[in-house]
Amino acid sequence: MKLRLARPCIDCIVYSLAVFIPLATLICISNLASAQSTQPTLPAPIVITGADIRQAMSLNGEWATIVDPYSNGFSSYFRNQITEPGDNKLVEYNFAKSPTLKVPGDWNTQRDSLLYYEGTIWYQRDFSYQPKEHTHIFLHIGAANYKSWFWVNAKKVCEHEGGYTSFNCDVTDAVHAGANFMVAAVDNTRREDNVPTLKTDWWNYGGLTRNVSLIEVPEAFIDQYDLHLKRGEGSEIEGWVHVNGGKSGEDVQVEIPDLHAKATAKVGDGGLAAIHFEVSGLERWSPETPKLYKVKVSAGEDTLEDLIGFRTIETRGTEILLNGKPVFLRGVCIHAEAPYRTGRANTDKDAETLLGWAKEMGANYVRLAHYPHDETMLRAADRMGLLVWSEIPVYWAIQFDNPKVLAKAQQQLDEEIGTSRNHASIILWSMANETPNNETRTQFIETLAQHARELDGTRLITAALLVHNEGNTKVLDDPLGKALDVIGANEYVGWYEQTPAGADTTQWRIAYDKPLIMSEFGGGAKAGLHGPATQRWTEEYQADIYRHQIGMFNRIPQLRGLSAWILMDFRSPTRNLADIQDGFNRKGLISDQGQKKAAFYVLQKAYLAKTVGKAE
Ligand code: GCB
């Protein structure tokens, strides 16, 4: 197990905010060059497990915002720096009079003029706070797409890159008793050396898209922990607790009151305490019995209470074994697109609606595409009993030959695994989606797979691969398969190639003796558009694809899972067929307004009756 707690600051760019007059009305942002010479390097944000269950003060709500397409705020406002109240220098912005945006939320769906906006937006809000002695205060950001910078009371506290993972900035030295203010800049400009890169088939929703809060912890605190059931038939819970600032020899306790079980361990060098304990009467977590236990973790002054399920996941030959028994994954892919309102999904209700539809369809599994989803989604999957494939946005042709890009992907993996490692629902870490087959790419993703295994040896590593055709045989022999525990394959027979009936004669040749998940398949339909099954975009055509696919799946002996593309229509700037797509990828089994299409029922029937896939 390798624990990554902090990263070097990627750019080490240091900006600063200057004087604030009066509070919440005017903030001047000083010049990059002058700030660089005077400010020390900032500590990188840290990963905190279970940040969402910590004692917190929410900073959600309306934030004043300034749209800054030329990223002017980073450099030119210094000219207007005000040194004394009443100083009559030129100031060309005023947060107090600026329009607001809701946090959490993408900016694109909150204001018509921002639907396609890509660039910087500045956020500002006031808050009052009473720090307690001997505590650390962290600014917790659920996600900010894509790059973000934060200042508290004009003091730069951190910056972060990566749009879909949570991070925490130490603001202890910046927050004071009474009135405070915070400024953030978020920039969702697409760049070639980002992860993901310039082109994706989903909307580049910008902003503070997930919850923002202040969390308070003791000086020595539990930043990460991993508690899971050891593989095998017994009931041994193992893992570790890491105490940030913890002294060697101090006690750490893990308690599961419902099982009358308690473990005590000592903090070793580096703050890590190894945990092992036998429990009796444990009910294992599974889709049928998604039992979650209250787990109390304490170290010194710090205590937290999580809800954790215990299960094992492994492979044996071409089987996936959940709790030691073969399981077939009947599922569907989901984008973090909010049902009914569009935009970034980020509430419990969004999660319950999306996952509720998956359950209604008879699913026991969901592929959360193509980036880590909100913690609320994972908590809901734990509660509702859905197995999860979780993924980082190594999507299509990113810059595989750029070491900086590898570092960015690794950072996202650190944050994804670091924050979500105690969710029983997650069984698969996916390294990538549909990447071009060449040596540089293979090495890049092998490095990620190796990294993921070091961080978490208890789950399965996968990726969605491309297949190629030899006559009417689909061949899956991508060398990346060697590095995976479970092979994912995307195919669109009946949509991007052949007719739906083409699936009836399609054969498969898979170079690996490992479990296979058909990680994507499907086609588009506009909800409510009816016609003959030969007419594209009708519900009938889409349903026909699914009927033929099911037959084909049952002829692939090593198939162990399915994730149809996709549960719900989602916004994509690449889908502009007027009157049909209108900016949405229409492969949803359900429309963005919640209308179920005919294909939903085709798949539901097969899933509920278990007429597709190997019966467990
Ligand atoms: C794919 C991609 C997915 C796209 C989908 C499509 O293969 O993995 O991101 O949205 O196809 O609809 O074409």
Query: 390-429 pLDDT, tens per residue?
Result: 999 999 999 999 999 999 999 999 999 999 999 999 999 9
Which protein residue has the closest C-alpha to ligand 1 atom 10? 201
pLDDT at 169 (0 to 100)? 98
CA of 330 to the centre of ligand 1 (A): 19
CA of 368 to the centre of ligand 1 (A): 13
Of residues 401 and 15, the one with the higher pLDDT is: 401
* Ligand 1 neighbour 490 (Cβ under 6 A): yes
CA of 120 to the centre of ligand 1 (A): 28
Give percent of the chain with pLDDT exceeding 70: 92
* Ligand 1 neighbour 541 (Cβ under 6 A): no
Assess whether pLDDT exceeds 90 at residue 88: no
pLDDT at 92 (0 to 100)? 82
CA of 343 to the centre of ligand 1 (A): 18
pLDDT digits (tens, 9 = 90+) for 282-320: 999 999 999 999 999 999 999 999 999 999 999 999 999
pLDDT at 42 (0 to 100)? 87
CA of 177 to the centre of ligand 1 (A): 50
* Ligand 1 neighbour 520 (Cβ under 6 A): yes
| DSSP one-letter code for 423 | -
CA of 603 to the centre of ligand 1 (A): 19
Ligand 1 pocket test, pick from 199, 201, 394 with the greatest ligand atom count within 8 Å of Cβ, gives 201
Assess whether pLDDT exceeds 50 at residue 35: no
Determine the atom of ligand 1 nearest the C-alpha atom of 495.
Answer: 13
pLDDT digits (tens, 9 = 90+) for 134-163: 999 999 999 999 999 999 998 999 999 999
Determine the atom of ligand 1 nearest the C-alpha atom of 200.
Answer: 9
Which protein residue has the closest C-alpha to ligand 1 atom 7? 490
Q: Are 179 and 97 in contact (CB under 8 A)?
A: no
* Ligand 1 neighbour 521 (Cβ under 6 A): no
* Ligand 1 neighbour 419 (Cβ under 6 A): no
Mean pLDDT of 607-616: 88
84-93, 233-242, 331-340, 586-595: least confidently modelled range: 84-93
Which protein residue has the closest C-alpha to ligand 1 atom 13? 201
CA of 393 to the centre of ligand 1 (A): 13
* Ligand 1 neighbour 221 (Cβ under 6 A): no
pLDDT at 75 (0 to 100)? 79
Give the residue among 374, 356, 375, 331 at the shortest CA–CA distance from 486: 331
Mean pLDDT of 583-606: 98
Mean pLDDT of 375-395: 98
| Cα 209 → chain centroid | 12
Cβ contacts of 426 within 8 Å, gap of 6 or more: 378, 381, 388, 390, 420, 459
pLDDT at 274 (0 to 100)? 98
pLDDT band at 41 (very low <50, low <70, confident <90, very high): confident
Mean pLDDT of 106-128: 98
Assess whether pLDDT exceeds 70 at residue 5: no
Of residues 217 and 28, the one with the higher pLDDT is: 217
* Ligand 1 neighbour 587 (Cβ under 6 A): yes
Burial label for 87, CB within 10 Å (0-12, 13-18, 19+), is exposed
pLDDT digits (tens, 9 = 90+) for 542-561: 999 999 999 999 999 999 99
pLDDT at 38 (0 to 100)? 44
CA of 201 to the centre of ligand 1 (A): 7
pLDDT at 84 (0 to 100)? 64
Q: Are 554 and 548 in contact (CB under 8 A)?
A: no
Quote the CA–CA distance of 17 and 137 in Å, as a whole number: 20
Mean pLDDT of the chain: 92
pLDDT band at 40 (very low <50, low <70, confident <90, very high): low
3-state SS assignment for residue 135 = strand
From the CA atom positions of the chain, what is the Rg in Å?
A: 25
* Ligand 1 neighbour 563 (Cβ under 6 A): no
Mean pLDDT of 445-455: 98
pLDDT band at 93 (very low <50, low <70, confident <90, very high): confident
pLDDT at 23 (0 to 100)? 35
Determine the atom of ligand 1 nearest the C-alpha atom of 396.
Answer: 8
pLDDT band at 6 (very low <50, low <70, confident <90, very high): very low
Length of the chain: 616
pLDDT band at 8 (very low <50, low <70, confident <90, very high): very low
* Ligand 1 neighbour 569 (Cβ under 6 A): no
pTM: predicted TM-score of the whole model, two decimal places? 0.94
* Ligand 1 neighbour 478 (Cβ under 6 A): no
Determine the atom of ligand 1 nearest the C-alpha atom of 464.
Answer: 8
Assess whether pLDDT exceeds 90 at residue 1: no
Which protein residue has the closest C-alpha to ligand 1 atom 4? 201
pLDDT digits (tens, 9 = 90+) for 311-346: 999 999 999 999 999 999 999 999 999 999 999 999
38-42, 49-53, 134-138: least confidently modelled range: 38-42
Cβ contacts of 33 within 8 Å, gap of 6 or more: none
Give the residue among 203, 167, 488 at the shortest CA–CA distance from 336: 203
Give the residue among 465, 446, 546 at the shortest CA–CA distance from 508: 465
Task: Tally the C-alpha atoms within 13 A of residue 252's C-alpha that lie toward its C-beta.
Answer: 29
Quote the CA–CA distance of 15 and 155 in Å, as a whole number: 9
pLDDT at 202 (0 to 100)? 98
* Ligand 1 neighbour 581 (Cβ under 6 A): no
38-42, 218-222, 322-326, 383-387: least confidently modelled range: 38-42
* Ligand 1 neighbour 586 (Cβ under 6 A): no
Determine the atom of ligand 1 nearest the C-alpha atom of 369.
Answer: 9
pLDDT at 91 (0 to 100)? 79
What is the chain's percent helix, strand, coil content, to nearest 5? 20, 35, 45
- The interaxial angle of helices 375-384 and 403-420, nearest 10 deg, is 50
Burial label for 599, CB within 10 Å (0-12, 13-18, 19+), is buried
H or E stretch at 74? none
pLDDT at 24 (0 to 100)? 37
* Ligand 1 neighbour 201 (Cβ under 6 A): yes
Mean pLDDT of 184-189: 97
